[in-house]
Structure 1
Amino acid sequence: MVLLVSLFLYLLLSRTSSCREIQEVDQLSHPVLHLPLYHVRGGSHSFQALDSDPPFLETIVFDENIDEKSVNVSLNPGIPIGISNYYTKIGLGTPTTYHNVIIDTGSSFSWVQCEPCLVYCHPQAGSHFNPFASRTYQKLSCGTSQCSSLKVATLHSPLCTASNTCIYSATYGDQSFSIGYLSKDLLKFGSESLPGFLFGCGQDNNGLFGKSAGLIGLGKDGLSMLSQLSTKYGRVFSYGLPTSTFLGNSGSRGFLSIGTSSNFGSKFTPMLDEYRDSSLYYVKLSAIYLSGKPLAVGSSAYRSPTIIDSGTTISRSSARVYSALKKECVDIVSTKFKIAPSFSILDACFHGTFDQISTAIPSVELIFQGGADLKLAPHNIIIEVEKGTTCLAFASSSGMVIIGNTQQHTFRITYDVASSKIGFAAGGCR
């Protein structure tokens, strides 16, 4: 990775640039965009295989009523094993070309793989975005306020080419990264057309992005897609992440809605801002109940900062909480099924299929500040990592606690940034 980055910098950069402070984005509420979300690796609308699907191990090692102004498009889910993220389709440029992009609430900057892929583009389904074919495409210079905003949006200072083009660098917790030109062009997102959408035109992209064309950041920073659409649609969005086809839900539907809408029976918990990265969605996890009883840990075990992240598959819990959860689950399930070897970061595994283990797994409930909760079903608690081996879909963390997308399956998750709260409602999708 260091060699790739160094080569890219050698080819493109001659000096660094210090940029101005971030601009605020208006926050107004109006109509709703309602879009489909897809599993990265499955379903009739998923990416077509290029060579072979990546193993599940590779993806985790690092790791209703709609407003009449909305757009409602159906979703078909993918297979459950090895799913990292969810994606939707966006259009870019004039004339418009369409690209499958991952939706990520754990980051704010959006980018797609672009021609000529000066250093490297990971294999993707469909064509790269070709900026030379779009008559509305523009690169941004280093003196623009948007270039200066990159330091907050990506946590990396921007750089400059010899011709004064602004260079972004976006990195992720699993060591994936994208580097390229800060750009703007026409965005088509559902029924919405947004001129001058800010995004990265990636020239060096590598990591666990599946076969996607790139990534859409839905974090709170001013460069995120949410912020760029906020003038018209407000700072509220929600989604439903479908379960996988192995659960028998081949007709499942998922969605992403951007814009003001009703609460859909959600229970809300306050959105917290006092932690180290203000672009992330922090909440207070107060307790975990197993079989209707709280885990035998004190309140201090829940002090670690907790985020909700659509881009993380396996939830991470503090060491004390995970140890208690793992012990009780293993004590219960192991009376009926033999313990299996650990599978990457998953160290509570059993010999048995998902259907078999789900008959023995106890109920789990996540309780948040203010009384909001997630009552987890078996598909939120365990995953069949390979045929005949099923593991608890939680792992231990020495730092940040993360509520991953496995635990979010089928719930409607509402991010009301304007009111600083996050809501959970059962039955958001199947």
Structure 2
Amino acid sequence: MEKKTTHLFFFTLLLSLSLCSALDHQTLLLSPLPSAPSLSQPESFSETTSEPDSDPSSLSLPLHHLDALSSDQTPSQLFHLRLRRDSLRFNSLTSLAYNRTRPGPSSGFSSSIVSGLSQGSGEYFTRIGVGSPPKYLYMVLDTGSDVVWLQCAPCKRCYSQTDLVFDPRKSSSYSSLPCSSPLCRRLDSPGCSSKSKTCLYQVSYGDGSFTFGDFSTETLTFRRSKVPKVALGCGHDNEGLFVGAAGLLGLGRGKLSFPTQTGSRFNSKFSYCLVDRSASSKPSSVVFGDSAVSRTARFTPLVPNPKLDTFYYIELLGISVGGTRVRGITASLFKLDPSGNGGVIIDSGTSVTRLTRSAYISLRDAFRAGARSLKRAPEFSLFDTCFDLSGKTEVKVPTVVLHFRGADVSLPATNYLIPVDSSGTFCFAFAGTTGGLSIIGNIQQQGFRVVYDLAGKRVGFAPRGCA
């Protein structure tokens, strides 16, 4: 009897260890670097077919990755360009956070808004109709900025874009805003035309680029849904900016962003799902309105930053690797201080998640310890933890879970161990920063429907949300 009990004990122990191991690791199916995706046909509906959508309080649009505009580049070249854009994006966002939270008066005529458009670091764009009749243009979607703007004729200086430059003189719904308009006063530093007494805007970027022109209202058309009187910048002087798209749709939390302006129409809700192009042929998408909220989403409250209302700050409490909370990563490392410094934001235009340096080192060391069986490779660009997985089709890797207040987000393996070349090198897709601001990037968001509920002051994550 005692012998049977002993055998049963050891069998139970082995089964327990086996289950624990299965929970602590997951399989990564190795995929190569993705090639440039094809750009679908423009969604340009004629006036005769532009009947309204069945639900005017909701709309859905496909999203295209910036790589679709670089079909002549190899996968390795595309990845290097992405990392370069990402570095510029990160520097711009941290510069904005520092400059806007620093005490002291602002100088010059500038709204001091930094976005992913600078140097082409806007990662996702869609096609939007502008004006009446609508002219369909590619617009970058950016959760890191507020002001909606596009290039307009006549152009004093305009960069090269895929479509013809929008001419407001050919639109019956275009209207300039007077300097006294409440919308004009919402700009950080509005200007006023001495001749026409109409509102002027200028958005300045971290690298010295800018867009300048008339602040106006115009009708935007999303497929067949028309949204009238959206306040936007009609830029006649646009220098050093993104080549390809016509402008930017600001999706930030600020008072001039598209979600804020259309709060009554779409209930201040939107969501997107970004696909991993290495593993899926499905399109990415963005949804506005109540249907943007997934039933399976787990929510974390938004944290207010009175010094900077553009960004989506959330509270990161800790991170687990291999089923165990990482020592040294505590909520105190990511606190937003009374001056508005520090904190964690979630951003669609940043690719690689950046964590404050001490938190990153703890995370990296825990992952290295859990991935000892994998052959190490030299550092690559900003990644200091890489592996030589050449000749393999799949590997076991430690699980990684981000613990937000109220929401544990368990990442698929493809969201943190990614291919970086054509030779089988995969790197841990996190990086450290010496600045106070941490950013949850879009590689870690892949496959989740990320829900932005401004009315409920919360952000949600729904796994497998791109279906």
TM-score of the pair, normalised by structure 1: 0.77
Q: Of residues 59, 65, 70 in structure 2, which corresponds to 1:33?
A: 59
Q: Of residues 173, 187, 192 in structure 2, which corresponds to 1:150?
A: 187
- Alignment pair present for 1:383 and 2:418: yes
Aligned length: 368
Q: Of residues 323, 327, 342 in structure 2, which corresponds to 1:292?
A: 323
Q: Using a 3 Å threshold, how does the CA distance of structure 1 residues 357 and 364 change in structure 2: closer, same or farther? A: farther
Aligned to 2:395: 359
Tell me if the contact between 2:214 and 2:235 (Cα under 8 Å) persists in the aligned partners: yes
What is the one-letter code of the residue matched to 2:444? Q
Tell me by how many angstroms 1:292 deviates: 1.0
- Alignment pair present for 1:219 and 2:252: yes
Q: Of residues 193, 203, 214 in structure 2, which corresponds to 1:170?
A: 203
Alignment of 1:224-239 (within 5 A): 224-239=257-272
Bigger Rg, which one:
2
Task: Find the residue that maps to 2:248 and give its secondary structure.
Answer: strand
Aligned to 1:240: 273
Distance 2:181 2:442 in 1: 36
Distance 2:60 2:286 in 1: 6
Aligned to 1:91: 129
Tell me by how many angstroms 1:179 deviates: 2.7
Aligned to 1:425: 462
Tell me by how many angstroms 1:357 deviates: 9.4
Moved more, 223-232 or 409-418: 223-232
- Alignment pair present for 1:269 and 2:320: no
Tell me by how many angstroms 1:228 deviates: 2.2
Tell me if the contact between 1:36 and 1:88 (Cα under 8 Å) persists in the aligned partners: yes
Q: Of residues 276, 290, 309 in structure 2, which corresponds to 1:260?
A: 290
Tell me if the contact between 1:62 and 1:175 (Cα under 8 Å) persists in the aligned partners: no
What is the one-letter code of the residue matched to 1:146? L
Task: Find the residue that maps to 1:62 and give its secondary structure.
Answer: helix
Tell me by how many angstroms 1:188 deviates: 0.6
Task: Find the residue that maps to 1:322 and give its secondary structure.
Answer: helix
Aligned to 2:94: none
Distance 1:213 1:357 in 2: 41
Tell me by how many angstroms 1:146 deviates: 1.4
Tell me if the contact between 2:329 and 2:359 (Cα under 8 Å) persists in the aligned partners: no
Q: Of residues 390, 406, 413 in structure 1, which corresponds to 2:443?
A: 406
Distance 2:237 2:362 in 1: 42
- Alignment pair present for 1:336 and 2:374: yes
- What per-residue deviation string (whole Å, max 9, x for no partner) do you get for residues 24-53 of structure 1? xxxxx98321222221213xxxx4759997
Task: Find the residue that maps to 2:88 and give its secondary structure.
Answer: coil
Q: Of residues 313, 332, 339 in structure 2, which corresponds to 1:282?
A: 313
Taking only aligned residues, the RMSD between alpha carbons, in angstroms, comes to 2.8
Distance 1:36 1:309 in 2: 18
Distance 1:51 1:94 in 2: 36
Tell me if the contact between 2:253 and 2:309 (Cα under 8 Å) persists in the aligned partners: yes
Q: Using a 3 Å threshold, how does the CA distance of structure 1 residues 294 and 184 change in structure 2: closer, same or farther? A: same
Tell me by how many angstroms 1:182 deviates: 1.1
Tell me by how many angstroms 1:411 deviates: 0.3
Q: Of residues 215, 219, 223 in structure 2, which corresponds to 1:190?
A: 223
What is the one-letter code of the residue matched to 2:447? T
Q: Using a 3 Å threshold, how does the CA distance of structure 1 residues 205 and 314 change in structure 2: closer, same or farther? A: farther
Distance 1:352 1:179 in 2: 49
Tell me if the contact between 1:337 and 1:357 (Cα under 8 Å) persists in the aligned partners: no
What is the one-letter code of the residue matched to 1:134? S
Distance 1:202 1:102 in 2: 15
Q: Of residues 382, 405, 416 in structure 2, which corresponds to 1:369?
A: 405
Distance 1:280 1:137 in 2: 29
What is the one-letter code of the residue matched to 1:348? T
What is the one-letter code of the residue matched to 1:117? C
Tell me if the contact between 2:322 and 2:370 (Cα under 8 Å) persists in the aligned partners: no
Distance 2:170 2:56 in 1: 33
Q: Of residues 42, 59, 67 in structure 1, which corresponds to 2:85?
A: 59
Q: Of residues 304, 310, 320 in structure 1, which corresponds to 2:358?
A: 320
- What per-residue deviation string (whole Å, max 9, x for no partner) do you get for residues 113-150 of structure 1? 222331232x3222221223223223323332211111
Distance 1:195 1:106 in 2: 23
